[in-house]
Structure 1
Amino acid sequence: MSSMPKFTFSRIGRGVVLALHTAAAAVSLNAAAQDPAEPLTPDSASVERISVSGRLLSSAAAAAAERRELPYVAELLGAEQISRAGDSNAATALRRVTGLTLVKDKFIYVRGLGERYSSTLLNGAMVPSPDPTRNVIPLDMFPAGIIESLVVQKAYSPELPAAFGGGNVNIRTTSIPLQRSFNVALGTGYNSLNNERGVSYAGGSNDWQGKDNGVRAIPAELAIAQQQYGVLTPINIAENLGGVNADNLAQAENTLRHLGTAFNRNIDINATSIKPDVDGSISFGDRFALTSDSVFGVMTGLSYDRSTHNIQEQERYYSVSGKNLTPLNRYDDISGTEHQVKLSGMLSFGLDLGVNHHLETATIYLRDTKDEVKIKRGDSIETINENNRSNTDTNINYEQRTLLSNQISGKHNFTPLNDLALNWQYTKAKVRRYAPGQIEHRYLNESQADGSVFSFLRRNQNAVNYSFSDMQDNTENLSWDTKLPLTLGKVEMMLSTGYAHFERSRNAQTDRFNFDTVGFNLNQLSGRFFEIFSDDNILNPSNGFKISNVTTQADDYLAAQMIDAGYLALELNYNYTVRLNLGVRYEDFKQISIPLTANNSISGSITDSILQADDFYPALALTWFINDDLQARLGYSQTTVRPDLREVTPVLYIDPLTDFNVTGFANLQSTDINSLDARLEWYADSSNYSLGVFYKALKNPIEAIELSASDGNLLMSFRNAQSGKLYGIEADFLQPLGFFSDSIGQFAGNFFVAGNITVSNSAITIQRFPGANLTNLTRSLNGHSKYIANLQLGFDSDNNQHNATLTYNVFGKRIAFAGVNEKGDAFEQPFHSLDLTYSYAPSDSMTVKLGLKNLLDNDVEILQQNEILQKRIEGQSYSLSFAYKY
């Protein structure tokens, strides 16, 4: 097998050189599959570049070829690698990258730094996040079918946004094909937890579409009443009716009762059978010659995924008395069912005007809907010491996340101007998180003398809670950069400069309402939900039914961001031996976040909500090409991580991932980061190895802390620690096992191993805060794991009909949240993941794939004081799919 292509520098532009290297790598690695008597000619090489796609070994080596050309430390996953491992979306694929772990199946931690320290670009552009509590995009929204490659850059370079912590993920979507293509795939799946019957409710949703039909939306009568009266209390309504007197108060109470009948009350929980998961995708692409040197291309695709997953969890909290910590004697058992629908569509057009000018548009639409019912059976602080009483809490959650991105970009090479290259892009994107009709209520269960259980809805002023949330973000992103290649003796140079402008606006609104049942008797409260809150019971004045909107938890705010940035960079390559990249970025950052009252007026001072900063962010990278196969890297940079819009807005909200109450803190400061990276990389034939070390010093790191320790009702917020540091070592490898052929048989050449491991340490120093009695003032960073390991064993048959991959992934324990009031820190325990994917291709156009997930049947556990605080049973997942391509 011939050698991998070596690094070269050419004035025709790095993009062209890179494409040639990638094609050459693919040809090199597929040469063994050709007839030995057939020579590799330039014509056959061009054909190979188009046809190679089946073997993971070749696709991994092609990705490595691109990685070695990048001037900064980075990792890359290609579409074939993602497909081969059986990953369904960007999040699950990225957990196989060196130094990365996955949190809540959505967010990545890079080198042990939380999701706030990672950033995401879509085809190089900043786009908003549909998650209301985090600045980064939930990566589970991006299905594998639209991904061309994932680039994780761990060392900063000045063309990237300065908000760079652990790493930047660039999701590069499928572009215009080299030839006509048609792909269709169908699949099904099942989880072992679904052997039990699930639960559902008559929520009025078109579940298979992943779109609410309006039944969950805030009732029109209620919205009108809020506009007319503001806070919905009898006194406030009476004042709007002309004054507080007996007649107006009676009319106000009657108005509130009638508004109660407008709510969707058809929410009784019923057992239901679980259907197998269904997914499918279809895509088409083609290119058309317009003239002898002009080509027009189109690429379109649509994917759909519907899945159902039963929920089995456990929780317990600590009863605090002085310094005595006593775990509750019994767990709260949580069961339920989550229905999820994912829909994605993409449409791209491309135009090549000769070899020097390329225009492309990309429209991407993503919709991710979750409809979840959770039932918690256990104790609260009121019933923990009463053996004959317990609670049943029901939570109904519906969340619809959408992203729409429209992008136009151009790449131009001006040959008469010394091959000056100009790249530009404009992206307009909007996201929405729509969560209507989220409901929670509690039933009390009392054991009777005859052994029966009497259950009734609690009699309380807030017996039932409804919430209606809607958050919309709109962004515009414009950027351009130029590259000018120059030659001075043995020195090849590339001078780069660019500009970027980013605007973001957010409108977030949440309405919360309570049902008051104090006037009901216990017999009235012992039925099903719809019976308790029938029209007759609500409208009967003797029951004293009331509704109220919860202004103390108002979560309405407006926010905006604006960033203007420019950079200047220089690349020097001396005699193909040493490459030096250095540059600096300047950013002017402005942010405002304004909390609103129930009457949509500004809460507090506007000046308290403004964050403004401007600074220079330098970066340097040095690459030494020791020989044709070995290269060493060294990098240094200064970057920042800024607080998110929600984190600096002093309003109360519920984190949808943890169910914790969270409040923002207006005085958060940005985190300044100094980073140092060193790495040694070896590339030989189809093998590659790397070994690197890294160090990061953090000033004012932002940490999530617990403000109160009331049992079962955690209140979290954010504060700046004084300082922090992170350092470690990481290694990765890709090695075919052909050298074992003589000792273990001829099939050894069909196997390969790949993997990576990261070992690191972190520490922060944090001061005490009012209202937060932190137990440990020196500890690890939130979310940091001391070790991460990813291993793969792959098999490719000679005829490429059979492919299999066994993948193992594990991370070390990490702090879920810091302990307070003498309680120790809560640690998420290591999760050992073992997955198997097997595919059979009876022909070049057909593939059948079998996937097995979590073969070790591990559970997710969070421990505090060496006791299980939270536990989630994952179950084992099985999938089967069929794909046809033309």
Structure 2
Amino acid sequence: MSSKQALTFSRVSRSVLLALTSATTFISLATFAEQSVAVAAAPDQIEHIAITGRLISSAASAAAERREHTYVAEVLGMEQIARAGDSNAATALRRVTGLTLVKDKFIYVRGLGERYSSTLLNGAMVPSPDPTRNVMPLDMFPAGIIDSLVVQKAYSPDLPAAFGGGNVNIRTVSIPRQTSFSMALGTGYNSLNNEDGYVYSGGADDWRGKDDGTRAMSPLLQSALQQYGTITRTTIAQANGGITAANLAAADTELRNLGLAFNRDIAIRSSDVEPDLNASVSFGDRYSISDDIVFGMMSGLSYSRATDNIEQQERYYSVSGDNLVPLNRYDDISGTEHQVKLSGMLNFGVEFTPAHRIETTSLYLLDSKDEIKIKQGDSIETINEPNRNNTDTSIRYEERSLISQQIRGQHQLDDIAGLALDWQYTQAKARRDAPGEVDFRYLNEQQSDGSVQSFLRRNQNAVNYSFSDMNDRTKSANLNFSLPANIGKAELLFSGGYANFQRNRHAETNLFNFDTLGFSLSQLTDGFSDIFSDTNISNSSNGFKISNVTTQADDYVAAQIIDAGYAAIEINYDYLFKINLGLRYEDFKQLSLPLNANGDISGNVLDSVLVEQDFYPALSLTWFINDELQARFGYSKTVVRPDLREVTPVLYLDPLTEFKVTGYAGLTSTDINSAEARLEWYQDNSNYSVGVFYKDLSKPIEAIELSGSDGNLLMSFRNAQGGKIYGIEAEVLQQLDMFSGQLGDVADNFYLASNLTLSDSEISIQPLPGANLTHSKRGLSGHSKYVLNMQLGYDADNDQHHATLTYNVFGKRIAFAGVNDKDDAYEQPFNSLDLTYSYTPSENLSLKLAAKNLLDQDVEILQQGQILQRRAEGQDYSLSLSYNF
């Protein structure tokens, strides 16, 4: 980002936050816009129970903890996560009832898409470093820094009102109970990596997930952007005295010099794929300063490097009149993805026993991806020419990072009627930096002698370079209190709190094109680096030019402010009934503004404003039928709001589907009314539960397909009229000791944990401009009618051997709605079968083996009964050795 643009973004972002702070009506925002050049969650109260021992014991302990919650919640503790061999938060959550995992990153709750999920870090809202999603990619959180994962599926008023299907609170490791040290080293391999992968010359720091400046925009290019705003032959000539022959010739010379400033050393070559590598180390200790004061610290560092080959197919759509016609062949895509993950954590804490506890958490997460893709197929230009096709090459590099600093406290004031206080303040910054992404196309022509001649296309946009940078900064603070009381047989707990959240985002994208119209055909048959050698670029007879064309909303600024307060009362009557009634109020303001190339507002400010104030009630009733059986009933009103990217008309590439997506400024929030009932039965060696749920959605946000002129899929978002989802879910945890007679005592070592969710959904959607929807009534996008999780576990008597076989499958779900009489596109069921085995020869040493996707399933999206997109996942195998004391 140039210094001028950085200043503009800074000024605009501050202005946006200032405007939102004082804005109460659209009129005040409009007045502010006219005067300015450019306008640019509470911690849960779930006490953690340490989960140790065998897997069956860990699962049973988690179930027992869940039993005590006022609202339906699931808990995965540190020991449970470690024994199952989970490497990060995302893979651990797959075992929770009604949850599925998408792309090993995002969770779907009760068959609903990730839009209906939310994430907290130690009770605080933090930004996502993935700008295409409002939720955190959970694979960024390594298991080593996690103390527990709390998944709450029924809303409570101490949580943010943006609650759809569930909330995940990631609680990091805190003050240890004793001195601890652990280290682990592992490796892994994917079956797709049997073939060679692709590499190119990157930077010296790629191994640690950072670009050393090789891909970044050069200072010369940044200076030109600051001077000219938009870099073209015309703008340079005008800035230097006007459109004259001499000034145009000087502009051509400057464009050639600027072309030399790009990284052109991207010769792609085949290479053996190296095995994955991961390592982690952590240390913690506690020190008694006095009889009443304990100081503790916990630190951790983890690193992983993985390389996976890519095998995909995509069906191309040809334009025929007003319709898109599918061809009977696919584009084949091969490639390689190199990924580096780095995390660091440092926690300090002080306990003033027994009443006070203050902790700090500093967290750094980095996830870098370097991807090379080569697509062999057709385009509109070659679709009807059997002797011609294309080879499209794309290089995608991105660094996603999160830095979070938090301080929080808990205080038990027994002298003031047992008043309890907890609070937190968090500052976080998420960034996505994608420098030097490159796209180019070679045309392949079959000659009369049967040979094939390949050459870079001769075009004004023969090569596309992209430099993107997005920064999200957030501040959150909350204060909660609880006050107990007794009236006869009733135990009462009054609670309440206040929360404030501020979010400030700026995003910039600069696009550059290489012009090859002046190059000869013989020059264009060379490799990329040879075509754009210093000699060829500097040769004026080749007519080389670059141009910078930044479209509307490639740059934008946005901000959010949420002020919230809640009050609740819990009544436990004679351990027969427990009722919790609460009400939350939120004042929500959001502004997202596209900027043009000069950093000025593009479009109408009022189109980008979302201001809401509303109350969100929650009711929970638990009936303790007997010591083993209890029933729950609940009701709540919540909201799902559009993400910043979804309301900004910016074109971007969805990293999961790789479809082009554009935002829509007219989106509104979705109000959700939820009701559920649940019966839970707890025994010594088994737990059972069955429940029903219903959600009524007002104006749900849906992904739809727009007509793309180039034959590629173009996705966007619109509000439907209304929708609903309802279903039943059941869960069982059973030790298989009932088979001891037939199988001997070995049956006591096995257990079965399984859960099943069956549900249905329906939305009504009105006719929409630009999208001729095929169905006005259909299921919710991303919703699966069934989700099944099964886990068969084994624990040896000597506690040295543990094994888990896990199966997960979800029903087909709509990837996007069909248009122009085409059916909806469905992602097909994915049958996931994983095996984990751990051997612990001593108390301190453990060896783990894991195999994933044993059924070798592929991810497929079907439309009209034909594959629209297929992605091979391959089978993953890993081995790790850990030492603890």
Partner in structure 1 of residue 307 of structure 2: 308
Residue 83 (structure 1) aligns with: 82
Partner residue, 2:367: 368
The residue aligned with 1:224 is 223
| Contact kept? 1:84, 1:837, Cα under 8 Å | no
Matching of residue 727 in structure 1 with residue 726 in structure 2: yes
What one-letter code is carried by the residue in structure 2 that aligns with 1:860? Answer: V
Between 1:533-542 and 1:339-348, the stretch displaced more is: 533-542
1:867 deviation in Å? 0.7
In the aligned structure 1, how far is the partner of 2:652 from the partner of 2:828? 27
Contact 2:316 2:331 survives alignment (8 Å): no
- Indicate conservation of the 8 Å contact 2:552/2:596, yes or no: no
CA distance in 1, matches of 2:447, 2:124: 63
Q: Deviations over 1:588-630 (max 9, x none)?
A: 0111111111011111232322211111000000000111111
State the Cα distance separating 1:17 from its structure 2 match.
9.8
Counterpart-to-counterpart distance in 1, 2:626 and 2:286: 41
2:98 aligned partner: 99
Q: Could you say what secondary structure the match of 1:218 adopts?
A: coil
Give 1:699's aligned residue.
698
Structure 1 residue matching 2:255: 3-state secondary structure: helix
In the alignment, residue 110 of structure 1 is paired with which amino acid?
V
Shift, 1:870, TM fit: 0.6
CA distance in 2, matches of 1:607, 1:709: 28
Q: Partners of 2:685 and 2:589 in 1: how far apart?
A: 48
The answer on whether the counterparts of 1:850 and 1:881 sit within 8 Å (CA) in structure 2 is yes
Structure 2: state its 5+ residue gaps.
1-42
Does residue 1:503 correspond to 2:468, yes or no? Answer: no
Shift of 1:325: 6.5
Within 2, Cα distance between the matches of 1:481 and 1:686?
Answer: 37
Greater Cα offset, 347-356 or 312-321: 312-321
Other-structure match for 1:742: 741
After superposition, the Cα gap between the structure-2 partners of 1:16 and 1:113, relative to the gap in structure 1 and judged at 3 Å, is closer
Distance 1:403 1:813 in 2: 33
Counterpart position of 2:605 = 606
Match of 1:858 in 2: 857
Contact 2:102 2:108 in 1 (8 A): yes
Alpha-carbon distance between aligned partners in 2 of 1:651 and 1:339, rounded to the nearest angstrom: 27
Q: Does 1:561 align with 2:560?
A: yes
Counterpart position of 2:353: 354
* Paired letter, 2:549: V
Q: Which runs of 5+ in 1 are unaligned?
A: 1-13, 27-52
Instruction: Look up the match of 1:528.
Output: 527
- Deviation of 1:18 after TM superposition, in Å, equals 4.6
SS at match of 1:732: strand
**Cα distance change, pair 460–484 in 1 and its aligned pair in 2 (3 A):** same
Per-residue CA distance 1:134-181 (angstroms, 9 max, x = gap): 111111111111111111111110000001111111011111111111
Tell me the CA shift for residue 214 of structure 1.
Answer: 0.5
Match of 1:161 in 2: 160
Distance in 1, matches of 2:387 and 2:731, equals: 57
On the 8 A contact 1:709/1:821 being kept in 2, the answer is no
Deviations 1:364-408 (A, max 9, x none): 110001111000011122222222111100010001011011111
- In structure 2, the partner of 1:634 is 633
Answering whether residue 54 of structure 2 is matched by residue 55 of structure 1, we say yes
In the alignment, is the contact (CA less than 8 A) between 2:93 and 2:99 conserved in 1? Answer: yes
- State the distance in 2 between where 1:406 and 1:278 align: 28
Where do 1:182-197 residues align within 5 Å? 182-197=181-196
CA deviations on 1:618-655 (whole Å, 9 max, x unpaired) are 00000001111111000000011111111111222232
796-805 or 95-104, larger mean C-alpha shift: 95-104
Residue equivalent to 1:791: 790
Q: Which runs of structure 2 are paired with 1:483-882 in the superposition (5 Å)? A: 483-552=482-551, 554-710=553-709, 712-882=711-881
How far does residue 709 in structure 1 lie from its aligned partner after superposition? 4.0
Which amino acid letter does the alignment assign opposite residue 858 of structure 2? D
CA distance in 2, matches of 1:656, 1:556: 19
Q: Distance in 1 between matches of 2:254 and 2:321?
A: 47
* 2:749 partner letter: N
Aligned CA distance change for structure 1 residues 356 and 324 (closer, same or farther; 3 Å): closer
State the shift of 1:859 in Å: 0.7
CA root-mean-square deviation? 1.5
Which is worse superposed, 730-739 or 577-586? 730-739
In the TM superposition, residue 519 of structure 1 has moved relative to its aligned partner by 1.5
Aligned to 2:258: 259
Residues 416-460 of structure 1 deviation map (CA, whole Å, 9 limit, x = unaligned)? 111110000111111110110111111001111222110000111
The more displaced of 401-410 and 384-393 is 384-393
Give the structure 1 partner of residue 38 of structure 2: none
Distance 1:138 1:532 in 2: 39
1:3 — aligned with what? none
- Note if 1:472 corresponds to 2:485: no
1:245 matched residue in structure 2: 244
Q: Is the 8 A contact 2:759 2:786 kept in 1?
A: yes
Counterpart-to-counterpart distance in 1, 2:861 and 2:538: 46
Change (3 A) 1:136 1:253: same
Aligned position for 2:26: none
Name 1:442's counterpart in structure 2: 441
Q: 2 CA distance for matches of 1:358 and 1:784?
A: 42
Q: Deviations over 1:11-36 (max 9, x none)?
A: xxx999956xx46xx6xxxxxxxxxx
Kept in 1: contact 2:318–2:711 (CA 8 A): no
Task: Give, in whole Å, the separation in 2 of the partners of 1:426 and 1:552.
Answer: 38
Task: For residue 733 of structure 1, report the CA deviation from its aligned partner.
Answer: 1.2
Structure 1 equivalent of residue 63 of structure 2: 64
* 2-structure distance, mates of 1:720, 1:405: 34
Shift in alpha-carbon separation, 1:65–1:18, aligned structure 2, 3 A? farther
Deviation at 1:710, TM superposition (A): 3.9
Amino acid in structure 2 at the alignment position of 1:775:
T
Q: Is the 8 A contact 2:400 2:431 kept in 1?
A: yes
**Structure-2 separation of matches of 1:150 and 1:672:** 27
Q: What residue in structure 1 maps to residue 12 of structure 2? A: none
8 Å CA contact 2:689–2:732 kept in 1: the answer is yes
CA distance in 1, matches of 2:189, 2:414: 56
Please tell me the residue identity of whatever aligns with 1:595: P
What secondary structure is seen at the aligned counterpart in 1 of 2:286?
strand
When normalised by structure 2's length, the TM-score is: 0.94
Aligned residues: 843
Shift of 1:818: 1.0
Letter in 1 for 2:152: Q
Tell me the secondary structure at the aligned position of residue 523 of structure 1.
helix
Task: Write out per-residue CA displacement over residues 96-124 of structure 1, whole angstroms, 9 at most, x where no aligned residue.
Answer: 21111112221111112211111100010
In the TM superposition, residue 796 of structure 1 has moved relative to its aligned partner by 0.3
Shift of 1:668: 0.8
Q: What is the DSSP-based 3-state SS (H/G/I as helix, E as strand, rest coil) of the residue aligned with 2:222?
A: helix
* Alpha-carbon distance between aligned partners in 2 of 1:391 and 1:420, rounded to the nearest angstrom: 70
Q: Corresponding residue for 2:110? A: 111
What amino acid is aligned across from residue 318 of structure 1 in structure 2?
A: Y
The 1:624/1:712 distance shift into structure 2, 3 A limit, reads: same
Distance 1:704 1:516 in 2: 36
1:248 Cα deviation from its structure 2 partner? 0.8
- For 1:219, give the aligned amino acid: S
* 2:18 counterpart residue number: none
Identity rate of aligned residues, in percent?
Answer: 69
CA distance in structure 2 between the aligned counterparts of 1:412 and 1:392, rounded to whole angstroms: 64
Q: Is the 8 A contact 1:374 1:396 kept in 2?
A: yes
Q: For residue 151 of structure 1, what is the amino acid of its counterpart? A: V
Aligned position for 2:407: 408
Partner of residue 20, structure 2: none
- For the residues of structure 2 that align with 1:722 and 1:17, how far apart are their CA atoms? 37
Offset at residue 659 of structure 1 (A): 2.6
Mapped partners of 2:553, 2:528: distance in 1:
26
Any residues of structure 2 matched to 1:320-339 within 5 Å, and which? 320-321=319-320, 326-339=325-338
Range that drifts further, 322-331 or 720-729: 322-331
1:538-583 deviation line (CA, Å, top 9, x unaligned): 1222212111112225511111110000000000000001000000
Q: Give the Cα separation in 2 of the matches to 1:445 and 1:18.
A: 64
Q: Is the 8 A contact 2:551 2:596 kept in 1?
A: no
Paired AA for residue 682 in structure 1: W
Query: Is 2:553–2:648's contact at 8 Å kept on the other side of the alignment?
Result: no
